[in-house]
Structure 1
Amino acid sequence: MIEKKDIALEKAVLIGIVTNDQDETKLKEYLDELEFLTFTAGGYAVKRFTQKMDMPNPKTFIGSGKMDEVREYIEENDITTAIFDDELSAAQERNISKILNVKVLDRTNLILDIFAQRAKTSYARTQVELAQCEYLLPRLRGMWTHLERQKGGIGMRGPGETEIETDRRIVRDKIALLKERIKTIDKQMAVQRGNRGKMVRVALVGYTNVGKSTLMNVISKSDVFAENKLFATLDTTVRKVVIQNLPFLLSDTVGFIRKLPTQLVDSFKSTLDEVREADLLLHVVDISHPNFEEHIESVNKVLGEIDSSDKPTIMVFNKIDAYEAEPLDQDDLETEKTSRHYTLEEWQSTWMNKIGENALFISAIKKENLEEFKKRVYDEVRAIHVTRFPYNNFLYPDYNYEEMN
């Protein structure tokens, strides 16, 4: 559980369901992540409600009995927000709001809110606003945008458009405008990427909060914002890095997450152009997280969606200083050893067997095994560089540890 440190945090309850596709263990993992998302957004999860169902209730997501239980708890404990782990339909959101009489959010809405808080540049804010508008469009019934509504005038007399039709048109026009703005910025960024010449490009990718920005700071000796919260980095940061006189470009990209909203994948695909145009990917993984293998699958899925799954990739298992294997219960002879009980050495052996030299185990914050990391990156970048510029092969000899120390 995340400790409450600020009395100003919004009090929220979390709600999820156990289904045929999502057992209790999986739901607990998702709710743990949802709690971290809630904390990142400025809330505090007071209680969790779960229910076993074959499928979500089409009207209220959970059953009527469980909904009454949630409502009673909210009324008795002065809760201001109810957060659901899956995306709610417009009808479900309206029905639940009427019953609970508090702010109702789903996982998508929560992630969009975090992105809105984290967006610092004009480009990131435009992308987030586009995603929010696309999320809002089918949910406009009962959600009025009076501030921008027409007030009549020439050509507006008579019955005209209904309120909701006008709202929808305003949002559609806004979406079109934002898409055009993003196209313009994309062209500018493409020119910037072209102006960088033919330097080898390396991109850090990975699940959110795995330490990409920390690793970026250590390797590039820069000061990229890093924080132990989800989606600390939204804007792609590019730095020139030199390892043993070999220069290359290193980019830090937005982190991925399970159940990433479709709207965000679409609007942030342009940000991931740095990934698409990279010569080498460094897939950073938080090995101390109990579900890191599922995180890897989630990242690989997004990489496939942006046509980048076939790029040369080095798996960088970070946070080895924080890794702890769960001990086996020696008193229970029926306890079966699972992946949760693996030692770090066993994980290393497993992944080394899977992908050979393309797996590294480091601690960016403690600077453990960074020399091995630098050597591996140097070798990969050098191989790409001398292929691209064969005439200056002699400028970049094999990696020399003594020169780095």
Structure 2
Amino acid sequence: MINPISTAKRQEKAVLVGVIFPYQNEQEITDYLDELEFLAETAGAKTLRRFVQKLDEPNPRTFIGRGKVLEIYSFIEEHDVDTVIFDDELTPTQLRNLEHELKRKVLDRTNLILDVFAQRAKTAYAKTQVELAQYEFMLPRLKRMWTHLERQRGGIGLRGPGEREIETDRRIIRDRISKLKEELKKIDRQMATQRKNRGSVVRVALVGYTNVGKSTIMNLLSKSDVFAENKLFATLDTTVRKVVVGNLPFLLSDTVGFIRKLPHQLVESFKSTLDEVRESDLLLHVVDISHPNFEEQINIVNQTLQEIGGANKPTILVFNKIDAYTWHEKDKEDLTPKTSENISLEELKRTWISKKGTHTIFISAKQKINIDVFRSLLYKMVREIHVTRYPYDNFLYPDITEANL
């Protein structure tokens, strides 16, 4: 019997490379490489090993030292590794030198994130946004990647040195970038019109680090079926749903997740998607409390909101995944300084709830824990915004508690 030929795509094998600079510690790099491995897994690669080196500053030629390059080369040759992924952004020169030395495909963090976005893009709009970001990232890193669709022809009045191949590549890419920007402008105008047509209905936006459970909360509140998955960037397109809590209607939007070192090209390309955040009345900042570095993730989201002009809005800090928060009784005896890794959930709640000016709620969207209290707080804050626009509606939406929802 003849065995059928398998058409399954072979999973790429990868190694990860991180650098510990003087202002960092080993635990930080471990956490960063954990996230990089999750990104690689989302992109479809299997990580075989991690390489870490302590450096005062990057090597301008290869980012890491010569000895570490040789160590990586020896491993990837022995284990037939396809891809080497760096957690930091590489210069075009470093990228070329590393590919020459390692004789393998070399990616940096930005390149990997762009690849994940390209895989996750489903609609024409998301695909256009990602393609634009990829071209803008590729342009300064061009190294004879293109096979030309056309070449300059000679002839009367056209004889001469012509363009070098790489210059032709750049011209093709610039033309494509211009075309994509025009396409996005048209879509931007359409989306702006859609937002305008929604009138004065209160608009609430879900924001947060990637993979914290925003889409799950969206499904829970709107009783819809938005795609949710335990992988990075499951949501790229903004989804807007009408939600009614009590008898009070409002619009809820689920937006693309943020991440550490989110490429500038993506922030620019996803401008219209992020307009939902900028033009919202209330933010639901969702946090994965089970993640050991959730406080850093909060800071990264706040910094990104500041960059896109979405900060200083009324916000509810939604600590999600309390069912996955791990803490043990033995941690009571831990005499080291209190951190998210050795503090009980009740202590953590008291710490965050006591912060003035912060509306905070602790829930599990997956297990539906504390959802009625969450709905009550959401109703209260949406109502406050609504009655400022429609004062005569005050009697229609009285103060209620979670028991009445």
Q: Indicate the TM-score class for this superposition, using the shorter chain for normalisation.
A: over 0.9
Aligned residue for 2:355, secondary structure, equals helix
Give the match for residue 221 of structure 2.
219
Aligned residue for 2:341, secondary structure, equals helix
**Structure 2 unaligned blocks of 5 or more:** 1-7
Aligned residue for 2:205, secondary structure, equals strand
Number of residue equivalences: 397
- Deviation, 1:357, is 5.9
- Deviation, 1:172, is 1.3
Give the match for residue 278 of structure 1.
280
Q: What is the RMSD of the two structures over their aligned residues, measured on CA atoms?
A: 1.8
Amino acid at match of 1:123: Y
Give the match for residue 349 of structure 1.
350
Which of 302, 317, 320 pairs up with 1:318? 320
Say if 1:46 and 1:147 are closer, same or farther in 2 by CA, change over 3 A. Answer: same
Distance in 1 (CA, whole Å) between partners of 2:151 and 2:260 is: 40
Question: Is the contact between residue 149 and residue 167 of structure 1 (CA under 8 Å) also seen in structure 2?
Answer: no
- C-alpha distance after superposition, 1:227-279 (max 9, x if no partner): 00000000000000001111000000000000111111111122100000000
Give the match for residue 37 of structure 1.
39
Q: TM-score, normalised by structure 1?
A: 0.94
Distance in 1 (CA, whole Å) between partners of 2:358 and 2:82 is: 51
Amino acid at match of 1:353: S
Amino acid at match of 1:111: I
- C-alpha distance after superposition, 1:62-85 (max 9, x if no partner): 101110000000000111110000
Question: Is the contact between residue 331 and residue 343 of structure 2 (CA under 8 Å) also seen in structure 1?
Answer: no
Distance in 2 (CA, whole Å) between partners of 1:279 and 1:156 is: 59
**Structure 1 unaligned blocks of 5 or more:** 1-5
Question: Is the contact between residue 213 and residue 233 of structure 1 (CA under 8 Å) also seen in structure 2?
Answer: yes
- C-alpha distance after superposition, 1:150-189 (max 9, x if no partner): 3426665432111111111111111111111111110000
Distance in 2 (CA, whole Å) between partners of 1:268 and 1:168 is: 23
Aligned residue for 1:223, secondary structure, equals coil
Give the match for residue 73 of structure 1.
75
- 1:370 aligned to 2:371? yes
Question: Is the contact between residue 285 and residue 317 of structure 1 (CA under 8 Å) also seen in structure 2?
Answer: yes
Question: Is the contact between residue 18 and residue 88 of structure 2 (CA under 8 Å) also seen in structure 1?
Answer: yes
Aligned residue for 1:218, secondary structure, equals helix
Question: Is the contact between residue 280 and residue 312 of structure 1 (CA under 8 Å) also seen in structure 2?
Answer: yes
Which of 52, 55, 60 pairs up with 1:53? 55
- Deviation, 1:403, is 3.9
> For residues 174-253 of structure 1, what are the structure 2 equivalents within 5 Å?
174-253=176-255
Q: Which runs of 4+ in 1 moved over 3 A?
A: 153-157, 326-331, 333-339, 400-403
> For residues 45-194 of structure 1, what are the structure 2 equivalents within 5 Å?
45-140=47-142, 142-152=143-153, 156-194=158-196
Amino acid at match of 2:327: A
- C-alpha distance after superposition, 1:94-152 (max 9, x if no partner): 10001111111100000000000001111111110111011100111x33312434342
Say if 1:356 and 1:306 are closer, same or farther in 2 by CA, change over 3 A. Answer: closer
Question: Is the contact between residue 207 and residue 285 of structure 1 (CA under 8 Å) also seen in structure 2?
Answer: yes
Give the match for residue 30 of structure 2.
28
Distance in 2 (CA, whole Å) between partners of 1:218 and 1:326 is: 30
Distance in 2 (CA, whole Å) between partners of 1:138 and 1:402 is: 59
Q: Percent identity?
A: 64
Aligned residue for 2:200, secondary structure, equals coil
- Deviation, 1:304, is 0.2
Distance in 2 (CA, whole Å) between partners of 1:21 and 1:101 is: 32
